Structure 1
Amino acid sequence: MPFADLLCHQRIGRISGPVDRDGVIERLAALLARPVEGHGLAAADVAERLRERERLASTALGHGVAIPHARIGGLDRARGAFVLLDHGVSYAAPDGEPVDLVFAMAVPEDEVAGHLAHLGEIAERFSDADFRASLRAADDDRELARRLLGADA
């Protein structure tokens, strides 16, 4: 599944006020829970699964990027959500930098190989400094979605 196939306009947004890591996870869980395609999920359950994963080790990659992710029982297909933070948050990143680009992913519980493939593709995409700069320069949610999903989005 290509990177952009995990996302849709309804699961892309911006957080303009200051928040902490838990606030970011809450927002992402709400986006991932939306029944845009497939069925909806309980946002509280998604948030708890994302927190469980963060307790194992931070999902921050460095360069202001984090990829919180979790496997969720009963989910029919992988889905993603993205937020751009106007104020970076402490996320225990390996480089110590605050995180402002956060791509969250929920995958079916039994989709281990697909989960790892998605993580690899997302990490590779966000390793591109020009791509990160492009997202940070987006003027609004529409432009942010276009930069994430492609020109035809």
Structure 2
Amino acid sequence: MPLTDLMAAVSTQVLAVADRDSTLIAASRLLACREAGADSLFLSLRERENVGSTAIGHGIAIPHGRSDTLQAPRGALLRLQEPVDFGGDEPVDLVFAMAVPAHYTHQHLMLLSELAEIFSDADIRQALRVAPDAQALKHIITHPQQARSG
């Protein structure tokens, strides 16, 4: 699945949370659908975080997990009103959570790589941080080329 397909179905939210687990709970609720409940997605995201932080620097984290009941990847972009500790070198204020079907292996890694590339762009990070609302966040993440200056 190309990243553009995942982005077409991404959910976004601006929210206040106190810590990493409350961020993962909020993300799992956005990722949940009839095929997979929020509780199992939260456990999958938290289990992955317990292996090692998904913080990638620049205040970004990409928590990800797998679910036996998902048929397609799902994504959720959260902008946190106050940064939280994700166990990396710096607090995180932008979180892109992703859940994929259990059988996704190569596709999972490709999606993570593409997301990391998007978030490596300072213009995109800045645009996400100043976006006025969840709708603007979704537009930026689904059209990252428009946020790049050059």
CA distance in 2, matches of 1:44, 1:30: 8
Q: Which residue of 1 aligns with 2:148?
A: none
Q: 1:83 aligns with which of 73, 78, 86?
A: 78
Relative to structure 1, the CA distance from residue 123 to residue 10 in structure 2 (aligned partners, 3 Å threshold; closer, same or farther) is closer
* Percent identity (aligned): 43
Summarize the alignment of residues 15-94 of structure 1 with structure 2, pairs less than 5 Å apart: 15=15, 17-33=16-32, 35=33, 39-93=34-88
Q: Report the alpha carbon displacement of residue 141 of structure 1 after superposing the two structures with TM.
A: 1.5
Q: Which residue of 1 aligns with 2:7?
A: 7
What are the Cα deviations for residues 61-86 of structure 1, in whole angstroms up to 9, with x where unaligned? 01000000011112101111110011
CA RMSD of aligned residues (A): 1.6
Tell whether the 8 Å contact from 1:86 to 1:100 is kept in structure 2 after alignment: yes
TM-score (norm 1): 0.88
Paired letter, 1:133 = Q
Q: Which residue of 1 aligns with 2:119?
A: 126
1:141 paired with 2:140, answer: no
Q: Which stretches in structure 2 are left out of the alignment for 5+ residues?
A: 145-150
Q: Which stretches in structure 1 are left out of the alignment for 5+ residues?
A: none
What are the Cα deviations for residues 1-45 of structure 1, in whole angstroms up to 9, with x where unaligned? 333421357711111x24200000000000000x3xxx4421011
TM-score (norm 2): 0.89
Q: Which residue of 1 aligns with 2:95?
A: 102
